[in-house]
Structure 1
Amino acid sequence: MTSSQLSAWLMLVPGGLWTGGILIFAVERTNLWRRMPLEQYVVDVRRSLRRADPMLPIFGAIGGAGTLWFALDGSAGGARTLAWIGAALIVLVMISSIVIAEPINTRFRRLPEGTAPERAERYRTIWRRFHFVRTVLALAAFACVSAAAVA
């Protein structure tokens, strides 16, 4: 396996799992969370975060590293440009997740299960809106890296 093939694999497989995880939250969880009573939402969001929170950033970081490697490893012209755009979008999603989503997630994670943080309803709205934008950016990033791999 060449360096280019390995970097393409690292940007596509973990990057695809990362994008898919984000998309599943957008399609499944946030839709349900919007309609759940607050008491049920508080329990469900905490349980969901317990499983997904450690996994998604790891996949995103590996996919992002693979994308940077691909961009730096002699890919040419359009492939390199697409990889750089994909890498920038991945970094944007990761940083915005740390700045916007993680403080909200931490408020839920620190409390005993079933206990709502102050302003939980407001956090639910902010998180849902943020996640919609994050999903669009993650899908755009994956489209760019996929196009780079076949360019």
Structure 2
Amino acid sequence: MSELRMVELSAATIVAVNNLSLKPGQEQYLAPVSYGIAATVINPQTSWQRVILDGDEVVGFVSANFDVDAPEEHFRSVLWRINVDANDQRRGLGRFAVAGLLAEARTRNMDRVVVIYEAGDGGPEAFFRRVGFTPVGETEYAEVIAEIRLAP
């Protein structure tokens, strides 16, 4: 890794984000990137989207939402998506993105960050557990709800 950083999603990076590749089997656990990008249009005040750059190369994308008024608690501070290009996985980029997300959550005085995912072989569960998410429940669709509690 040369110069790892996160920047806001922009017109200059959106095409590269849309072209991030997945490893075989990952597509069943991740909606198209354009779904995540649409959140900015729908909720511009609460949406938080960052592009992960290694030098000038787009290597990943992370999308979250911070809405203290969300009716369901697990949607108040939620990681919606994290996508690291297939060729760049297993280099610590996902961990870097989660660390940036947690830092942002702290600046917004959130007490936790939640992620909701589908369990299954080849799915994201092992990654989320490695970076500190702990399962705390299920959605009505049997998706896993996991969280990282933030120290006050």
TM-score normalised by structure 1 residue count = 0.29
Q: Taking CA–CA contacts closer than 8 Å with sequence separation of 6 or more, which of the two structures ends up with the larger relative contact order?
A: 1
The answer to which structure has the higher strand fraction is 2
The answer to which structure has the higher helix fraction is 1
Structure number with greater Rg is: 1
